[in-house]
Structure 1
Amino acid sequence: MNLETEKLFWQAVHFLIVKKHYRILQISKNHQEVWLEKTENKESPIIRLLHTDLDWSNRLKTDIEMVALNGERLRKRLVRGQLNITNIYFVPLPPVDDYEHLLTNPYIPAGKRKIKVTSFIVDEAKRHISLNHLRSVFGKELVFDENLNNDIEIEIHRLRHEAISIAATRAKAEESVFESGKPLLTYFFIIVQVIIFALMELQGGSTQTSTLIQFGAKFNPLIIEGEWWRFLTPMFLHIGFLHLLMNSMALYYLGPLVERIYGNIRFLFIYIFAGFAGVLGSFIFSTNLSAGASGAIFGCFGALLYFGVVFPRLFFRTLGVNILIVLAINLMFGFTVPGIDNAGHIGGLIGGFAAAGILRFPKKRKYGTQILYFVGTAVIVMAMLQYGFSGSASVVDKQSIIILAQDYIQGEEYDKAHKVLSEFHEVEEDSTEILFLLSFTEIKRNNLDDAKDQLHRVIELDPNFHEAHYNLALVYLEENSLENAKTYAENAVKIEPKRDDYQELVENIDAFIQVNQGN
């Protein structure tokens, strides 16, 4: 091998690693071939440099095809749509036969048009032309020491040792970013949510509204009444086995990555705060009862996005494309599929990003930036809480009031049911469902006159509300107004003739009437 050409080879490698921050993908045992990577550089993300002898153009052609084949493997590994490879040969002399046509245009292999190999030769015969070409590609700051002396071997050794050492040090520093903690808490959270799911199934079923409310699901009416812990407990609950399975799998794959980057204590804060932020977002923008670890899991996405902001090169080289694709799919899924609490997902995403900004990374603190994140996050959280509890936001709707009232009624807490129904009825237009439930609580509280008024109003609004006719018949029967009771019982039968209890009530009233007439 020619020492002068080898020196140029290592000067180029040294420059790309030290000045341009390329990373070593692979290096041959004899140190004469080096593959470098810098995915942030869109024009030259992969550079392959080879110090060799090229006697004939056939060898050059075969080598270029081999570079394209390796490039296709790299493209798939990097999940790139298009990959450009800059391929540089350092040779004492170019091939003796015609070879220029192989360098005129980039090589694009047949059937694999996503790979483009741009090759050129640096040779002693056209030394200055070749070096100027290199500078045009990589910048004028690429300087070659062309002073040839007896210490050329020492200089080559120095350049090689320094370039490889710096690349190794950087690679080790990058790897250390992913070694801040072992994923212990991730598995702990998975175990906790599985145990709670089993308890919910034993207590009536995880899809039952009453069970979800009992275990602490996000339910705006109860949060308004002061049950603040419902900002935290929903992240450990799941609605059905499929919900549990999907969230557990997502946490299993995302959690360890975040925990390794941020460490155990930081991961704990990120996960819990993101879960809280997800529930807060759902509280403000969704009136539906909800539960699940989705907000906290989206917080893991948020923490990884913050990692990408601070370390963009490392992020896009290791995680970026895959994480962004998965996140985009999940957000699109949330926007297009009914029943998904996307407000909770987005709240968790923002919360995870903010929590990561407050804590940053182990041994990489920036107190000024962290304080700004903390103050900004605290202001936003307080403003959202104030907005939600002030009554300005529509955090409670008719359906949630009905669910709450039914839960109270099921627990025979009729005064509580009456209170929430009455308060909602005062601010909303007449609703047959609200009035009907309100009348039921009045019956249970022995306020029959109020119950009758409300049931009559229900029938006025909806003459086919058969349950209202039936209950009104029962009220009149309780007051011994048998004719009125018979009228409304018969109305119920006409509307819903298949109900045996309605028909039985008519028969019982007829029997009472006959007894009274006999007396």
Structure 2
Amino acid sequence: MMMANHLYWKIVFHLVINEDFRILERSTDKKQIWLLKDNGGQRSVVRVARMEHIWLRDALKDKEQAELSFRSLKQRLALRKAPFYNIYVTSYPPVNMDETFKQTSDKKNKNIVYTFLTSIKGATEAVNTPQEIFQALGIRINWFPIAEMEEEQHQEKINEYRTAVKRRQEASEQQDRSHFMNGKPILTTILLASILFVFLLVEQSGSSTNIITLIEFGAKYNPAILEGEWWRLFSAMFLHIGMLHLVMNSLALFYLGGAVERMYGTARFLFIYAAAGLFGSLASFAFNDQVSAGASGAIFGCFGALLYFGVIHKDLFFRTMGMNVLFILGLNLAFGFTIPAIDNGAHIGGLAGGFLASSFVHLPKHGFSKLQIPTLLVLIGCAGGLTWFGFENENKASSPLMDAQIAQEWLERGEDERADELITAALEDNPDQPQLHFLKGYISTNENDYEAAAVSFERAVELNEDFAEAHYNLALVYIELGKIEEAEASLEQSKETGKENEELDFNHIEELLEDAGT
């Protein structure tokens, strides 16, 4: 058994030390080690196991479990076509050992599995020599068999191999950690504090869910950007709409921003965050006519930075955080495509901007890359293209529904004149929007111009027969104009279309009609 242990550790030593295989996992009893090798892009997984099974059925059970573990490992590390070499080292082959032990049982899962067994004693057709195993791995070696020696001598060699393997593993782990230790999350903390400060300031000044307040504090508002307020492309990154939006983005920035800043360093992270935020705002400006705010574009830029890290360090990426990053990213993008309120253009723009910005600044301690200058040109070109499209895409310059919502908030503030200016301008471009005509009628009612109000409300119900509020207000205006029959007809229309609208006081209009009849 001591000779088999010696052989086991000698094989592991040669693969790890001489052939530069990387240790993925080690069992607590150190009787199995999982290794990974990258041969010019073709990766292989090797499991070396110390086995002492007497019966073949026990060996087959272990083999089946190893193949299940390989499928899980393959999925977690995105190994795709990587073959699996399952190597057993034993003192004696199990009873009734034959070639069936080496046959793969994983063809249905499209996994390439090779099984080998090498033994100190008990040669059969199913037993492989170490030379045969290394030859299958594509390794040339002049292998010297384990010589007979005292147990103490065997143990000395085993300890020597184990120590060397352990040191190599520690050095590899230290090298991995160094990729995540290039900075401290200083800027991330400052950004979080800034976002919270701005949120409290907005809440104190009005409400973070109030569109006018958001616009006043620098939200992305296309008409204002078209008039030259380009700074909104950056200021929108510090605004958030409601507490839930703030909390979700803050948590994402804390974890993602902190990770990216540690990996890239503070200076690089600043460029990545700003570039991604700008790309997100530009994409929103080019493709979305709604008022928008939030750090989502910059946060998705952090995803882009992590993806770029995965391109440069594919194995490390998937061994640490890769599948989790891809899952969370995919989930967020899926939400963006299915929930209309989410500005997915900003998310995708930020993702692309973060990836390109990361490619330009590159990773610390990696030296100059020949792709950095071309990437910078692509970065500038894409930013210019989004800006140009934003100015040329007139359909995204303004939204009649957004104009109506803003005008509504001006009316709630008692700013009828500003609301009227906005509605009048909006109607010139969108004369068939019933909501705009409704608000125009509401303003005319406040000015006691009932004739003009009636015209606006009539136009609103003409464009939308189910507009209960417009029918209701039209009935009130008709009463003021002495048109009782028309008022009764509008009231009936309002009742029919607004049955579930608890804000409409139909009894009030009926009382007014009774008073008008007397």
The TM-score by the shorter chain falls in which range?
0.7 to 0.9
- Provide the residue aligned with 1:171 in structure 2: 173
1:307 positional shift: 0.7
Residue of 193, 197, 200 corresponding to 2:199: 197
- Provide the residue aligned with 1:396 in structure 2: 398
Residue of 226, 239, 258 corresponding to 1:237: 239
Note the aligned Cα RMSD (angstroms). 4.8
- Give the 5 Å matches for 1:418-497: 418-438=420-440, 458=460, 465-466=470-471, 469=474, 485-487=480-482, 491=486, 495-496=490-491
1:311 positional shift: 1.2
CA distance in 1 between partners of 2:416 and 2:361 (Å): 48
Letter in 1 for 2:482: T
- Provide the residue aligned with 1:45 in structure 2: 45
CA distance in 2 between partners of 1:96 and 1:472 (Å): 98
SS of the equivalent of 2:237 reads helix
Determine if contact 2:211/2:406 at 8 Å carries over to the other structure.
no
Q: C-alpha offsets along residues 425-474 of structure 1, whole Å, 9 cap, x if unaligned? A: 3333333332444566689999999878756755765687347647967x
Determine if contact 2:103/2:115 at 8 Å carries over to the other structure.
yes
Q: C-alpha offsets along residues 161-186 of structure 1, whole Å, 9 cap, x if unaligned? A: 77665554443222210111122332
- Provide the residue aligned with 2:500 in structure 1: none
Identity of matched residues, %:
32
Structure 2-normalised TM-score?
0.74
- Provide the residue aligned with 1:289 in structure 2: 291
1:130 positional shift: 1.6
- Provide the residue aligned with 2:117 in structure 1: 120
Q: C-alpha offsets along residues 477-513 of structure 1, whole Å, 9 cap, x if unaligned? A: xxxxxxx9533688557635936886898899999xx
Determine if contact 1:39/1:317 at 8 Å carries over to the other structure.
no
- Provide the residue aligned with 1:14 in structure 2: 14
Determine if contact 1:458/1:468 at 8 Å carries over to the other structure.
no
- Provide the residue aligned with 1:94 in structure 2: 92
SS of the equivalent of 1:232 reads helix
Letter in 1 for 2:179: V
Determine if contact 2:286/2:393 at 8 Å carries over to the other structure.
no
Determine if contact 2:130/2:143 at 8 Å carries over to the other structure.
no
- Provide the residue aligned with 1:278 in structure 2: 280
Change (3 A) 1:120 1:129: closer
Change (3 A) 1:367 1:449: farther
CA distance in 2 between partners of 1:191 and 1:489 (Å): 61
- Provide the residue aligned with 1:374 in structure 2: 376
- Provide the residue aligned with 1:133 in structure 2: 132
CA distance in 2 between partners of 1:201 and 1:452 (Å): 38
CA distance in 2 between partners of 1:61 and 1:226 (Å): 77
Determine if contact 2:24/2:36 at 8 Å carries over to the other structure.
no
Gaps of at least 5 residues in structure 2 are 148-152, 493-504
CA distance in 1 between partners of 2:365 and 2:102 (Å): 50
CA distance in 1 between partners of 2:513 and 2:278 (Å): 54
1:134 positional shift: 0.9
CA distance in 2 between partners of 1:285 and 1:225 (Å): 17
CA distance in 2 between partners of 1:472 and 1:458 (Å): 14
CA distance in 2 between partners of 1:427 and 1:183 (Å): 48
Determine if contact 1:86/1:119 at 8 Å carries over to the other structure.
yes
- Give the 5 Å matches for 1:15-94: 15-19=15-19, 21-23=21-23, 25-26=25-26, 35-38=33-36, 44-48=44-48, 50=50, 57=54, 80=76, 86-90=85-89, 94=92
Letter in 2 for 1:144: N
CA distance in 2 between partners of 1:225 and 1:441 (Å): 27
CA distance in 2 between partners of 1:226 and 1:493 (Å): 50
- Provide the residue aligned with 1:334 in structure 2: 336
- Provide the residue aligned with 1:353 in structure 2: 355
Change (3 A) 1:410 1:129: closer
Change (3 A) 1:462 1:304: closer
**How many residues are paired up?**
487
CA distance in 2 between partners of 1:199 and 1:227 (Å): 21
Residue of 255, 264, 275 corresponding to 2:266: 264
Determine if contact 2:78/2:318 at 8 Å carries over to the other structure.
no
CA distance in 2 between partners of 1:208 and 1:401 (Å): 13
CA distance in 2 between partners of 1:8 and 1:456 (Å): 90
SS of the equivalent of 1:210 reads helix
CA distance in 1 between partners of 2:131 and 2:92 (Å): 17
1:370 positional shift: 1.5
SS of the equivalent of 1:260 reads helix
Q: C-alpha offsets along residues 99-155 of structure 1, whole Å, 9 cap, x if unaligned? A: 4478444699xxxxx9x994511547769952453145311x332344999xx9999
Determine if contact 1:207/1:240 at 8 Å carries over to the other structure.
yes
1:76 positional shift: 7.1
Change (3 A) 1:233 1:503: farther
Determine if contact 1:8/1:144 at 8 Å carries over to the other structure.
no
Gaps of at least 5 residues in structure 1 are 109-113, 474-483, 512-519
SS of the equivalent of 1:38 reads strand
Change (3 A) 1:268 1:488: farther
Letter in 1 for 2:241: I
CA distance in 1 between partners of 2:177 and 2:427 (Å): 61
Letter in 1 for 2:132: H
Change (3 A) 1:4 1:74: closer
Change (3 A) 1:470 1:63: same
Change (3 A) 1:255 1:19: same
CA distance in 1 between partners of 2:454 and 2:93 (Å): 105
Letter in 1 for 2:372: Q
Q: C-alpha offsets along residues 278-321 of structure 1, whole Å, 9 cap, x if unaligned? A: 22222222222332322222211111111111111211121211
Determine if contact 2:305/2:358 at 8 Å carries over to the other structure.
yes
1:223 positional shift: 2.6
Letter in 2 for 1:394: K
CA distance in 1 between partners of 2:395 and 2:443 (Å): 28
- Provide the residue aligned with 1:476 in structure 2: none
